[in-house]
Amino acid sequence: MRVAIVGAGMTPFGAHPGLSVKELFADALADMAKTVDRGWNPERVEAVYIGSLSAGQGMQLGNFAPALMEYAGLPPVMGLHVENACASGGFALLQAVLAVASGQVSCALAAGVEKMRDVSGEQGRYWLGISGDTEYERLAGLTFAGVFGLMAARLIDAGELTRDDLARVAVKNHRHGALNPKAMFRKAVALEEVVASPAVAAPLGGLDCCPTTDGAAAVLVARADQADEFTDLPVSVAGFGAATDTLAVHSRPDMTRLTAAGRAAGAAYKMAGVGPESLHLAEVHDCFTVAELIAYRELGLAATVREGAQQLAAGAYELGGRLPVNPSGGLKAKGHPIGATGVAQAVELFHQLRGTAESAERQVAGAELGLAYNMGGSGASATAFVLRKGGRAQ
């Protein structure tokens, strides 16, 4: 069964001290409802998948899916909470797509929600830290910033990257985020500011790191042959894939590779029958600037990390460039509410491929094929989706 995205929405990302996770979820649904041109009818939903890291013990909310569904007025259908660290949202969407692809469900909702600002400081670091290796990394004091700092240092040492290359990712994504009304950081930053930002894990400074924050996102998935019952402007799920890897970076043959990303994207390209050269835009998991540079290589956008950095410096990945990467601002500027991130990537692609981005400045002109790549931990899990403009003709 072919699958289409027929609605998508999200809350603004950023601090939401007055909203609970239930309210954020309902707000994302309300934003999604605006895109369901033929009228949003919750009773059409037959399965619900909600990605979240802090649900359960963290939020003191078990049975997380039915709890949120009840609050938001969804019917009491199959509902499930899924967790794969920072890739929880991507995996929620993947399950919704599989459920519809199975033919057992004709309409499924994928959502992600997180309130990371309620767990600031020590506890927040702890919450995230458990998604990496415990024995050799977390308990030894190696944070995620530390892991990606080591990757960046190694790539600089090997002559693949320079400090400025890292900073250029932040500059680009802040420029994009400044145009996105849903982004947390809506201001440009200069290359010198990024380079001069206080070290978090050298060579990564504060402006090389994405902010974990609050937010929710929701995507409505349906049988492609019923897409026009929901909207005149659907988007096809042309391909998808997922993969895992070792939790500890030291267990991998090369600590600067994120091979789960490449395997997930490879499966998605293969199913879609396209290669990376056919893409018009991509949303990629840039938890740290170096992660986006590594992603250029893993996703096949560039042959090497060096080549990707050169293309970035040449403007290829800017809005208006050959292949805009993270037109939303990415995790870096849009913000990273853990479980919501993978779903929000699909929200961005949905609008870009329909031509409904909020402004002409933000819209990728003529976008017909997009990639979304979401990662969990230090790359221990990953999802990828190739989405195509139009619903029926795939």
Establish if 42 lies at the interface with its own copies (CB under 8 A).
no
Sole binder of its own copies in the list 14, 132, 203, 342 (CB under 8 A): 132
Cβ(251)–Cβ(17) below 8 Å: no
**CA angle (163 as vertex; 160, 335 as ends), nearest 5:** 105
Establish if 19 lies at the interface with its own copies (CB under 8 A).
no
Establish if 115 lies at the interface with its own copies (CB under 8 A).
no
Is residue 188 classed as helix, strand or coil in its secondary structure? coil
Q: Is 336 a catalytic residue?
A: yes
Residue 154 CB partners (closer than 8 Å, separation 6+): 255, 256
Establish if 77 lies at the interface with its own copies (CB under 8 A).
yes
Instruction: Give exposure, 252-263, as e/b (b: 16+ Cβ within 10 Å).
Output: beebbbbbbbbb
Per the listing, tokens 């002409």 go with: 360
Establish if 269 lies at the interface with its own copies (CB under 8 A).
no
Establish if 380 lies at the interface with its own copies (CB under 8 A).
yes
- Per-residue binding string, its own copies, 242-261, x by CB under 8 A, is xxxxxx---x-------xx-
Least Å distance, CB 102 to its own copies, is 4
Query: What are φ and ψ of residue 235, in 5° steps?
Result: -130, 135
> What single-letter amino acid sits at 104?
Q
What is the end-to-end Cα distance of the chain in Å, rounded? Answer: 12
Least Å distance, CB 195 to its own copies, is 32
Q: In this structure, what token pair is assigned to residue 56?
A: 């359960």
**Which position among 86, 107, 209, 210 bears the catalytic label?**
86
Total residues contacting its own copies by CB under 8 A comes to 60
Cβ(337)–Cβ(115) below 8 Å: yes
Establish if 80 lies at the interface with its own copies (CB under 8 A).
yes
Q: Is 280 a catalytic residue?
A: no
Binding site for its own copies (CB under 8 A): 1, 47, 53-58, 60-67, 69-70, 76-85, 91, 94-95, 98-99, 101-105, 127-128, 130-132, 134, 241-247, 251, 259-260, 263, 271, 376-377, 380-381
Query: Which of the residues are catalytic?
Result: 86, 336
